[in-house]
Amino acid sequence: MMTESHLLLHGTCVSVGGAGVLILGAPGAGKSGLALRLIDEPGYGISGLLLRGELVADDQVVVTRVADRLMATAPASLRGKLEIRGLGIVSLATLPSVALALVVKLQDHSAIERLPDGRSFDILGLALPLVEIDASMASSPARIRAALNWLKLPPAARETVALRHG
């Protein structure tokens, strides 16, 4: 930890369609691998709009509260670096920062509720939507894009979509 308005987290951050996704999980859970898939595989989620991923930070993420937003950036020593298991640390273009919109907690699929109520993750006094994902599932990047699309819908539209598919 740094100060009240800054926090250093063990995680990875990717901008997906301009929305910051903070990926958290135990060491070896697949944070960097999932980030690589989000960067390498643009997709549509449930919106029909193509969403591309861009790396912001890998391994450590500095989160700063700016008024009612949480901004993520990489520590200077790790900026522009991504660990690719079996290959090593690679350099690539990154975004300098992004406003966080979603927290993804990596879990084994057997521990994830099929139909959870809305969950949140508090950082520096602000709550962000939280989803649990199994990074080993082929659909993991699509689920993250779908979650970002879902969160942009007004609550009444979310309920309508849930009723149609429930």
Tell me which residue has tokens 């960097």: 32
Residue 3 has pLDDT above 60, yes or no: no
> Could you give the CA distance from residue 56 to residue 54 in angstroms, rounded to a whole number?
6
Mean pLDDT computed over 125-148: 95
| Range 6-165: architecture per CATH | 3-Layer(aba) Sandwich (3.40)
* pLDDT at residue 109 in the model: 86
Letter for the amino acid at 108?
D
Contacts 24+ apart (CB under 8 A), 80-88: 82/32, 82/35, 82/36, 82/55, 82/58, 83/32, 83/58, 83/59, 84/32, 84/33, 84/36, 85/32, 85/33
| Structure confidence at residue 80 as a pLDDT band (50, 70, 90) | very high
* pLDDT at residue 115 in the model: 77
- Pair of tokens at residue 33: 């691998």
Mean pLDDT computed over 139-156: 89
* pLDDT at residue 163 in the model: 46
Crossing angle between the packed helical segments 140-152 and 31-40, to the nearest 10 degrees: 70
* pLDDT at residue 166 in the model: 47
pTM score over 0.75: yes
Residue numbers annotated as active site:
10, 31, 59, 114
Q: Which residues pair with 60 in a beta bridge?
A: 10
| Structure confidence at residue 8 as a pLDDT band (50, 70, 90) | very high
Residue 1 has pLDDT above 60, yes or no: no
Beta strand spans in 39-97 (E) = 53-57, 60-66, 69-73, 81-84, 88-91
Average pLDDT, the chain: 90
Mean pLDDT computed over 146-151: 92
Mean pLDDT computed over 119-131: 95
Cβ atoms of residues 31 and 106 within 8 Å:
yes
